[in-house]
Structure 1
Amino acid sequence: MDQRLLGIRHAITRHARDGLTATALPGLSVLRTTRTTQPTGDVLEPAFALIAGGVKHTALNGEVYRYGTGEYLVATVDLPVVGSIVAADEDEPFMAVALALNPGRIASLLLDTGGPGGPSGASGAYSPSAVGVGPVSPLLLDALARLLALLDHPADIAALGAGIEREILWRLLGGPQGATIRQIGLADSRHAHLTRAIRWVREHYDQPLRVADLAAIAAMSPSSFHRHFLALTSMTPLEYQKQLRLNEARMRLLTGRHDVASVGFSVGYSSPSQFSREYRRMFGTSPSQTASGSHQRQVAAQAPPALEDRSGRRH
């Protein structure tokens, strides 16, 4: 195994707690687990995420992105996805490191360099899609290893962290998704205009949606907005809103005892049957089954541990 990747794995092991763990470096998180997971809805925010061990699937509107050790995923806008860790165990844990993509820092880098980004001036072919997967380059791996190494020397973070993050962004701009990442830092790009509309949908996902209103937010005609939104997110605005609603509903059903109908209404559904039908289509199970399973897990967690008599029988 590449020594830089091995160093990243060691750093993740030292600093990751159970679940996704924020670090002392702003925007940097680490994850380590020995368990695979069931498909779970989430919103993928603009970030670069490297897999240091194991395999993950991220599904965006039915298209599955598979990436494993030494590969990374880049997302450039908020995307409702369904993710699952499909390879992880005690011998080979799933390990990942994620760095948020900050528009202001990308803009500053582009302004200072005066070019499209990347050491060679070439930043890949622009793709309208907001997500991409690819292998990590040695130079990018080296910079990421040095950034994670700062976690063992907290006093160095203020002096060195921003510089190494800038180097990582520079390597990303020179990579296969570089031209797409560049759009994050351009204030008047089509990407930036669409991002404003996407942000509105995220903040008002439970309210009625009119494409004409979103097009006005993005300063586009309705037909142009619809076309470019679909190219960027792989879904229509209404499909995007629906997936946000269903992801939020699933989270509420999994994290507490909620009445299924009230959850559907709370995320914007006026029809319980439509909510149940669309939920099952997305997650492969009904809302009531999700709620029931969550309640059973809570009861099991609250139950006193079973006792064993000397014969080994549990009672």
Structure 2
Amino acid sequence: MPGMNPRHTVHAEGADLLESCRTSRVETELRERVIAAFDHPEEHTAISGVTLHVTRERVAPTLTLFHPTLYVVLQGAKRIILGGRQIDYSGGQLVLMGLDVPALVEITEADGKTPYLAVELAVDHEVLGELVALMPPRQPSRPQSVGVHPLPSSALTATLRLVKLMESPTDARVLAPSVKREILYRVLSSEGGDGLLQMVRAQEALTGIGRVTNWMHGHLSTPIAVEDLAARARMSVSTFYRAFKDATGTTPVQYHKMLRLHEARRLVALRSRSMVSISETVGYASPAQFSRDYKRAFGTAPAHEARYFS
């Protein structure tokens, strides 16, 4: 380009290359440490709110309940089906979950040599609010329950330091809170910061939706009416319905059904009740309908899965 100093161009290209090499080394070490820590449970449970994911084979779509979470994805690929929306992500990306969200999840790329790898960090809303208050004002885009963004190298480096702390429980207790805070800050400062900002800026709407989802969690066997839920959220029916679907990717009725089925699966795994008792506990009047919905959600009938857990 006219007027551009060739030395500056070469310098910039060299700096980019060095940064790329450094990021590649960090990624390689982080992948190795995640696998090593995952294979030693006493390490990967050392830091509260941090979960390591290592999956060595592809997994068919499974109904999963997510919580407000940040995922640093290191390798492999996963697909989320949220209502009518399909979201694909893979190594080198950052995934943000803004609300309790039930969704179908499928691991699409993973094997013994290159497993699916991710580091999950639960979002501390109090720390997040403090960070947002300290940073320059910024208007986020429209709220989404799930966002996928490029993984900033600064967050990757901080994540490596966090995983290293798992080797020493004492170091983890003392230093992990500040490193988790740094990761949130690095993400807030990046393109993916919009997703975290939405958790704070959209708090009023999400608080109303959160009141409803919390109520649903505690009333799995109670029949629901959208009018009653809207009143609980302090919104009009139309506003509530739209806000609920924007936040969770599904309707209130479908959300409630998925919560009931998740609780049913937990009870099936405990093997402490009959199938009829479990279906009644989660609000099904018909055991046959319960079995059909359960099989549709999890791929097998509850009675068959009970034998698997035995």
- Retained in 2: the 8 A contact 1:49–1:97? yes
In the other structure, the counterpart of 2:58 is 36
Q: Does 1:139 align with 2:159?
A: no
Task: Assess if the C-alpha contact under 8 Å between 2:150 and 2:192 holds in 1.
Answer: no
Q: State the 1:227 CA deviation.
A: 1.5
Distance 1:248 1:62 in 2: 23
2:92 is aligned to 70
Q: Indicate if the aligned counterparts of 1:18 and 1:32 stay in contact, CA closer than 8 A.
A: no
SS at match of 1:96: strand
Q: Deviations over 1:270-289 (max 9, x none)?
A: 1234334433443454x2xx
Bigger shift: residues 62-71 or 46-55: 62-71
For the residue of structure 1 that corresponds to 2:250, the secondary structure is: coil
Residues 20 and 224 of structure 1, relative CA distance in 2, 3 Å threshold: farther
| Matched positions, count | 288
Whether the 8 Å CA contact 1:21–1:29 is kept in 2: the answer is: no
Higher helix share: 2
Any idea what the Cα deviations from partners look like across 1:2-33, whole Å, max 9, x if unmatched? 11111211221222148998532221111223
Checking the alignment, whether the CA contact within 8 Å between 2:220 and 2:260 is kept in structure 1 is yes
Distance (Å, rounded) in 2 between the aligned partners of 1:89 and 1:41? 21
Distance in 2 between residues matched to 1:5 and 1:233, nearest whole Å:
32
2:30 alignment counterpart: 8
| Structure 2: gaps spanning 5 or more residues | 1-22
Unaligned runs of 5+ in 1: 117-122, 300-315
The one-letter code matched in structure 2 to 1:6 is T
Structure 2: which amino acid aligns with 1:242? K
Cα-Cα RMSD: 2.8
* 2:294 aligned partner: 279
Q: Secondary structure of the equivalent of 1:66?
A: strand
**TM-superposed deviation, 1:109:** 1.1
Aligned equivalent of 2:108: 86
Q: Which amino acid aligns with 1:41?
A: L
* Residues 1:215 and 2:227 aligned together: no
> Residues 257 and 294 of structure 1 are in contact (CA less than 8 Å); yes or no, is this contact kept in structure 2?
no
Query: Which of 164, 169, 172 in structure 1 is aligned with 2:184?
Result: 169
**Match status 1:256 vs 2:278:** no
CA gap of 1:284–1:155, structure 2 versus 1, over 3 A, is closer
Q: Give the AA of the match of 2:257.
A: K
Superposition TM-score, scaled by structure 2 size = 0.81
Q: 1:268 to 1:175 in 2, by over 3 A?
A: farther
Give the corresponding residue for 2:248.
Answer: 233
The code of the aligned residue for 1:138 comes to: S
What's the counterpart of residue 284 of structure 2?
269
Change (3 A) 1:143 1:219: same
2:303 to 273, 288, 291: 291
The SS at the match of 1:57 is strand
Secondary structure at 1:29 match in 2: strand
Name the amino acid aligned to 1:174.
S
Work out which of the residue numbers 199, 219, 234 in structure 2 matches 1:184. 199
1:219 Cα deviation from its structure 2 partner: 2.3
Range moving further from structure 2, 182-191 or 41-50: 182-191
Q: 2:111 & 2:79 partners in 1: Cα distance?
A: 16
8 Å contact kept, 2:98–2:146: yes
Superposition deviation, residue 194 in structure 1? 1.7
Inter-partner Cα distance in structure 1 for 2:298 and 2:169: 42
Q: Comparing both chains, which one has the higher relative contact order based on Cα–Cα distances under 8 Å and sequence gaps of 6 or more?
A: 2
